[in-house]
Structure 1
């Protein structure tokens, strides 16, 4: 990836046409998403952790996360943004090292989250990542994730105000966008978009408004988080259960054709 790819990724965040961003967890899933027409790809830290036999929640090491990211970036030609959880470090300096490692893979964006961290802690981490990107000469898109809704970090009636307050701290620290997983209600999305002076990223799934509807409410980016990985693992569990319970194989219907998958990855591996 190049600096131009970073600029392309940044330009995909438009108020009039939200970026629909699927989340990959390995090179094969990323290649399939690109083939489906994705203009960019995000990673899911949960999906990567699960693929390595680990639970989600800052259990990945920087080395494991970056190695998986490198394989994903190498498998596609579109921009890739990396979910780096809290930054894989105890200090801002270590987060800067993570950002540098991410940039070295060719990725052009990161998601970094507060979770149970204080807003001041995440702001320091964002600042460190921004300075690392500036030193590398890459316009890294820093998407600050705040878990106010997801983790109930404020009373329900105060979630919107608390989210907007945190967003302003993160943007002042150097973030480019704000990711608010949890709310999908039109009123909440509209209020968040109005109160956050930057591209708003929301997480969607079954039952949520469509990408177009979320865009009309003010969202500039719609991602699926770990949703696709969950669906893929559900197929694995369902097919194994069917095999063992009834000795039948209907759950395998609709799978990606072996030859098509092999050809897709052969093309990606050859770089043609």
Structure 2
């Protein structure tokens, strides 16, 4: 049974998609999610790539439903802002599998999820009709669970699979995005393009909120530019984890090359600050 707190968080998260634009940072564990909260972001998502790597496996459903929901639910129980999870393709071949995944996600305390249309078995795009059926099953499962404001963010991946033909990828993303909105999705997530002109074109052609992802291989337009173009949601994806581990790698290279441990002095009170951050949000305080 959903709690009043979860209902309120779901309503708050859904409202973010109706006007304006917001940045959704993507975490992989409790401390990284709490840092996102402390930085003032209105919600936090998990990154399936980051969570998978933190568990020592690769992205693409290798982590499995149970471990992904355990990690995402642990974050939702500790963070006072709404938490949405990247649930990859929904963990199972049928719409009923996706419905069960969403039911379990709500039980874990989540108020939204990403569902992608890449087939984890073929690694290609799933048929659009089948993908729309899975979106519809997710939406109906959330309503049946008593959380109609649960945000289903329908991710469509033509830019990954048709990268050699951007025009064809754009057309396919628009067709699929509108189909998923008709199936009940709250928002359409089109990863890879993050330049201003493509963002404007997607917003014009897709009949609902559009989510883009920052920090791709090409330069990302600024928040203000994308917001003015009508983009509703900007995800950070796995880039926050990548930046964190890049810094750790640089420290290790410095120690190996110079023998100096000055990095510890530069870190200052970061360790104590993190401990205080965790202690301010005790276990199960936000369930």
TM-score range, shorter chain: over 0.9
Does 2:226 align with 1:224? no
- The number of equivalent residue pairs is 271
Between 142-151 and 239-248, the greater mean CA deviation after superposition:
239-248
Corresponding residue number in structure 1 for 2:259: 247
Q: C-alpha separation between the residues in 2 aligned to 1:120 and 1:71?
A: 33
CA offsets, 1:94-146, max 9 Å, x none? Answer: 11111011101111111000122221221121111111101111021100001
Contact 1:235 1:251 (C-alpha < 8 Å) held by counterparts? no
Instruction: State the Cα distance separating 1:75 from its structure 2 match.
Output: 1.7
Corresponding residue number in structure 2 for 1:6: 10
Corresponding residue number in structure 2 for 1:45: 48
* Aligned with 2:115 (options 97, 112, 116): 112
* Aligned with 2:142 (options 128, 133, 138): 133
Q: C-alpha separation between the residues in 2 aligned to 1:133 and 1:211?
A: 31
Residue 2 of structure 1 aligns to a residue in which SS? Answer: helix
Contact 2:49 2:59 (C-alpha < 8 Å) held by counterparts? yes
Residue 20 of structure 1 aligns to a residue in which SS? Answer: strand
CA offsets, 1:245-272, max 9 Å, x none? Answer: 2212455534761211111101101639
Q: C-alpha separation between the residues in 1 aligned to 2:235 and 2:269?
A: 23
CA offsets, 1:164-208, max 9 Å, x none? Answer: 101111112121100011112222111100111111000012731
Corresponding residue number in structure 1 for 2:249: 237
Residue 273 of structure 2 aligns to a residue in which SS? Answer: helix
CA distance 1:14–1:154, shift in 2 (3 Å): farther
- What RMSD in Å do the two structures reach over aligned CA positions? 1.8
Does 2:278 align with 1:265? yes
CA offsets, 1:13-45, max 9 Å, x none? Answer: 244x31111000001100111001010001100
Q: TM-score, normalised by structure 1?
A: 0.94
In the alignment, structure 1 segments of 5+ residues that lack a partner are: none
CA distance 1:237–1:259, shift in 2 (3 Å): same
Q: C-alpha separation between the residues in 2 aligned to 1:255 and 1:150?
A: 41
Corresponding residue number in structure 2 for 1:95: 98
Contact 1:147 1:153 (C-alpha < 8 Å) held by counterparts? no
